[in-house]
Structure 1
Amino acid sequence: MKLTAGQVLGNQYSAAWTKALRSVVDINDLSSVDAGTLQCLREMASVQSAYAKMDSPVIFNSGIAEADLRLLSDICAEGMSIETRQNASGKKNARIAPQYAEFVGRLGLQQRAVEATGLPLTATDGAVFIIYDEPQAGLGLHLDLTSFGGLTMLLCIERRVTSDSSSATVAVTPDGIDEYRYGVGECLIFDGTRTIHGRTPVGDGEKIVLLSVGFEYASSEEAQS
């Protein structure tokens, strides 16, 4: 498949870009890439940025109550006890059990995303817990699957760090590589299908738990309804 950035071609398009990105650099080597590799990544980011709905990722305070954040952490633990999916890099995923869908809906995540971005958004079925709790667990550079939603919001519900050089969400831009560290109750929101991003590996004793939520860009009719 030719790696252009015109019309989105669905999950096949995202998967092709992800494969290409990971052939360029391993997430473990991102902090020490040479000038040629960095330039290659910047050029790939430039191709995507022309189509992104957001100029860059944004961190904001969700305003979600501490008690609700603790409950989300408990829901995640319960989901992990039922079924946990782990990829080769150590990242784990756990689903939200159906009985908690109404509670998650009451958190008003869609409205919080709209207020943070100024974009008209609609909710999708894309919501999953992401857990990094083993040494060197991380996530290689990629573009999100288009089926998850055009915009991705990561809500931190648990964060334990042991050093200043803690794991970070990284985003590749036409200008270079940016790192984002956000605490419990804070969110990182970005155009996941157009922003090249990943997670640098966690260290010994470090733990990061996120709720990842996908949104679609609403049409003018949907935004007014």
Structure 2
Amino acid sequence: MEEISEVRSSHGRDLIRNARGESADLFAGTWNKVLRDFAKVSSLPGVGSPGETCLRAVAALMAPSLLVPEPVRVRPPWASAPQVSALRDEAKMMLRESGYINNNKMNSACGPVAERLAYAVDLAAYVAEVVGVKVKQPHAANYIGYWEAGQSLEIHLDSMKFSDINILLCVDRESSREGQGSSTVFVTPAGFKSEYCTPGEALIFDGTCLPHGRTPIGDGETVTLINFGFHAL
């Protein structure tokens, strides 16, 4: 119980937020083993079940350390239709040419289109405007592709080595079931929260202390994303 009390304390918040390098990986990795024991995104536990209750308990432990209390869904003004189309085309090219499988999805580095966006738009100022947290300019960015049926992302916490806050922007989605299909799922103290984003919509959230994942891609469905990671000032 000492570990739980320390996470809840202000000292615990400082310990979490100051984790970097191997300590950041150890923190995320330890909790991720616990989270994956409680649930699989392919069959999320029902309300009031032991698995759901345990996941909510973990979310409650992490909640005092959140920089952003809950995920915020936005349609950024800088994500115009031409900009999203350009990102989509680059993402598909990069994922096909240099993508690799990571945790049951495709990842790749970004290219010049994404880099020009990061230079042209003050993304750090946008994060501060929307969620009230001052951050440095993007520390990392990558394209993500869920292109095959069954691809998903188990509930997890991000390593603070990568970021404190994420902008996860949808650049392409194909589905035979409009408005339905794979979604980003978050675990909050109140339960599961699902967010279904269409191209041009984004989620801003604290991936290091808010458990999150993605439900499986269905037949005939694809989702392509770009993620920008920010460290808090």
TM > 0.5 fold call: yes
CA distance in 1, matches of 2:220, 2:174: 8
CA RMSD of aligned residues (A): 1.9
Is the partner of 1:147 in helix, strand or coil?
A: coil
The more displaced of 5-14 and 59-68 is 5-14
CA distance in 1, matches of 2:46, 2:149: 19
**How far is 1:34 from its partner?**
6.2
CA distance in 2, matches of 1:161, 1:74: 18
Count of aligned pairs between the two proteins: 216
Contact preservation (8 Å) 1:60, 1:188? yes
Contact preservation (8 Å) 2:76, 2:202? yes
CA distance in 2, matches of 1:189, 1:37: 26
> Which residue of the partner structure matches residue 214 of structure 1?
229
Q: How does 1:48-67 map to 2 (within 5 A)?
A: 48-63=62-77, 64-67=79-82
Query: Residue 54 of structure 1 aligns to which amino acid in structure 2?
Result: V
Query: Residue 180 of structure 1 aligns to which amino acid in structure 2?
Result: E
**How far is 1:199 from its partner?**
0.3
Query: Residue 181 of structure 1 aligns to which amino acid in structure 2?
Result: Y
CA distance in 2, matches of 1:129, 1:173: 26
CA distance in 1, matches of 2:55, 2:62: 11
Post-superposition CA distance 1:71-109 (Å, at most 9, x none):
1112112212331111353x1111113685234422443
Contact preservation (8 Å) 2:123, 2:138? no
The yes-or-no answer on 1:158 pairing with 2:172 is yes
Contact preservation (8 Å) 1:124, 1:148? no
Contact preservation (8 Å) 2:118, 2:138? no
Query: Residue 66 of structure 2 aligns to which amino acid in structure 1?
Result: A
The yes-or-no answer on 1:201 pairing with 2:216 is yes
Gaps of 5+ in 2: none
Structure 1 residues 153 and 11, CA gap change in structure 2 (3 angstroms): same
> Which residue of the partner structure matches residue 15 of structure 1?
29
Aligned partner (choices 95, 105, 123) of residue 80 of structure 1: 95
TM-score, with length taken from structure 1: 0.88
Query: Residue 191 of structure 1 aligns to which amino acid in structure 2?
Result: D
**How far is 1:47 from its partner?**
0.4
Structure 1 residues 48 and 153, CA gap change in structure 2 (3 angstroms): same
CA distance in 1, matches of 2:145, 2:182: 12
Q: Percent identity?
A: 29
Query: Residue 76 of structure 1 aligns to which amino acid in structure 2?
Result: A
Contact preservation (8 Å) 1:136, 1:201? yes
TM-score, with length taken from structure 2: 0.86
> Which residue of the partner structure matches residue 108 of structure 2?
94
Gaps of 5+ in 1: 219-225
The yes-or-no answer on 1:182 pairing with 2:197 is yes
